């Protein structure tokens, strides 16, 4: 029979594996959008921020963004991939065309949130599927790879700037929060393992 100390250590290892697996499956990316980040740069005072959550296990990509100060009304927004090098260059549209479903059009500021089902062809530009193996599974793998390698960007197109007025590359958010939580769990477990029962 295993000792209480050994059982606690086993639980700590199991928790570490679970946290590591969760971090690998759910990845968060931040995006800061502005005119100078377009290629070529755009003289716009418009700005935006977005959070992208990639859930590999659930095959979903969640987008939450806000933007303001654009020079004219919006005409489209989507994710492009994959650029030849990380955090630079241009690429074709990877996600829904002509724009994200439900994205606010004809406005200079606004907010947007949506979740794409990466198993559905409707989540992609048909040309992206064709260029990346011809199936949604191969398109999903290509998009995930581009995101993870820093070769994908989000942009917003406007009437004045049909090629894109503001954009930003997807940048991975450090997983320090989950790691710190696990450290506390581990310390608590070790403290419990070293605790001796009191004698009556």
For the chain, the residue count is 200
Domains and CATH numbers, the chain: 27-173 (2.60.40)
* pLDDT > 70: percent of the chain: 76
CB atoms within 10 A of CB 119: 13
Q: Mean pLDDT over residues 117-143, rounded?
A: 98
pLDDT in tens, 59-109: 999 999 999 999 999 999 999 999 999 999 999 999 999 999 999 999 999
């Amino acid at each position: 029979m295993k000792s209480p100390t050994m059982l606690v250590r086993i639980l700590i290892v199991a928790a570490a594996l679970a946290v590591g697996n969760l971090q690998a499956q759910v990845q968060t990316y931040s995006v800061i959008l502005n005119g100078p980040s377009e290629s070529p740069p755009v003289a716009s005072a418009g700005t935006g921020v977005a959070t992208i959550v990639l859930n590999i296990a659930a095959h979903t990509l969640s987008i939450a963004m806000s933007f303001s100060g654009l020079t004219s009304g919006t005409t489209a927004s989507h994710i492009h991939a994959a650029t030849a090098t990380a955090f630079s260059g241009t690429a074709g549209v990877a996600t829904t065309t002509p724009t994200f479903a439900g994205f606010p059009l004809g406005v200079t500021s606004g907010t947007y949130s949506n979740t794409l089902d990466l198993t559905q062809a409707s989540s992609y530009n048909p040309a992206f599927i064709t260029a990346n193996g011809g199936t949604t599974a191969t398109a999903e793998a290509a998009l995930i790879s581009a995101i993870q390698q820093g070769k994908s960007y989000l942009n917003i197109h406007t009437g004045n700037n049909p090629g894109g007025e503001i954009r930003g590359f997807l940048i991975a958010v450090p997983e320090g929060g989950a790691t710190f939580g696990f450290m506390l769990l581990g310390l608590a477990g070790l403290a419990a393992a070293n605790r001796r029962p009191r004698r009556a």
